[in-house]
Amino acid sequence: MGNSIIMGSKNYDRDETVIDLMCTFIERIPKEIGQFRKLKELYLSDNLITMIPDEISILNDLGKIYMNTNRISSIPSSIGQLKKLEILELNDNQIVLLPPEIGNLPALKVLDLNRNRLKTLPAEIGFLSTLEVLDLFRNHLKSVPTEIGKMSSLKTLNLNQNQLTSLPVEISNLNGLTTLAIHDNVNISVNTEFPWSEKNHHFYPLEIKRVIFTILLIARVENGIAKHPEISFYKLHKPIMYNIFRFLSNLY
């Protein structure tokens, strides 16, 4: 027993690499969590947890955190000390603010914060150069920092159901982006400097697949985007393929 710790209703050896307490109705994470120095995966979704203790930050090998569907309202600044963290899932909580230290996670690949209460994002989020998936669905964001254009590995960006009215032109720097979701925002418009506007429709060095992706994206967003004077020929009532062929014909 001396080498074990009670977590929730379970006994865990101090050398455990995985702790799974999903759906156990726990209300707090014991400070003893910091004693699991070999822990790599932590599953605490579907509980009643209200806070993340700083003790988690000393788990140097921790690579995956799942705390979805809890009552967490904040993320401690100490989260930035988890240098091996690759997956951080905190969807369906009550988080209103991200600490700047979120940008100190050099291995992070997935950051899932959908269905929270975020109003802003720290500029430091741009330091997440390994991040591939950023899910911010159904928050209260009114803007996105220009630094998001520095996230060189980003493949999926979900901004559906926020309060955005525009996107920073720096998003066009995300050469690896394959999914950009911006449904159900407030008459969102696109900056005229985006490479898919009529004014600047020379895509070099962008690939043709990004050209097609871009037009498909435009065809899916709210009507406000079609009102933009610089992309007036993208009429959403026209067939998508018609726009693709017309756009590609303008490249040559």
Residue written as token pair 């062929």:
245
Q: What is the pTM of this model?
A: 0.78
- Topology at the third CATH level for domain 4-186: 3.80.10
Q: Tokens at residue 6, please? A: 């009670």
Please say if the pLDDT value at position 234 is more than 90.
no
Q: What are phi and psi of 186, to 5 degrees?
A: -95, 95
pLDDT digits (tens, 9 = 90+) for 55-67: 999 999 999 999 9
State what percent of residues in the chain have pLDDT above 70: 73
Helix axes 208-220, 240-249, angle to 10 degrees: 140
- Chain CA centroid to CA 65, Å: 15
- Domain range annotation of the chain: 4-186, 195-252
What number of other Cβ atoms are within 10 A of residue 81's Cβ?
A: 18
The whole-number pLDDT of residue 9 equals 77
Higher pLDDT, 183 or 98: 98
Please say if the pLDDT value at position 227 is more than 80.
no
pLDDT band of 224, cuts 50, 70, 90:
very low
Where is average pLDDT lowest: 5-14, 52-61, 238-247?
238-247
What average pLDDT does range 41-48 have in this prediction? Answer: 97
Amino acid at 248: L
The whole-number pLDDT of residue 124 equals 98
Can you give 55-110 as a three-state secondary structure string? HHHHCCCCCEEECCCCCCCCCCHHHHHCCCCCEEECCCCCCCCCCHHHHHCCCCCE
pLDDT digits (tens, 9 = 90+) for 164-197: 988 898 998 998 999 889 888 876 765 544 544 3
Adjacent-strand bridge partners of 133: 110, 156
Is 11 buried (19+), middle (13-18) or exposed (0-12) by CB count in 10 A? exposed
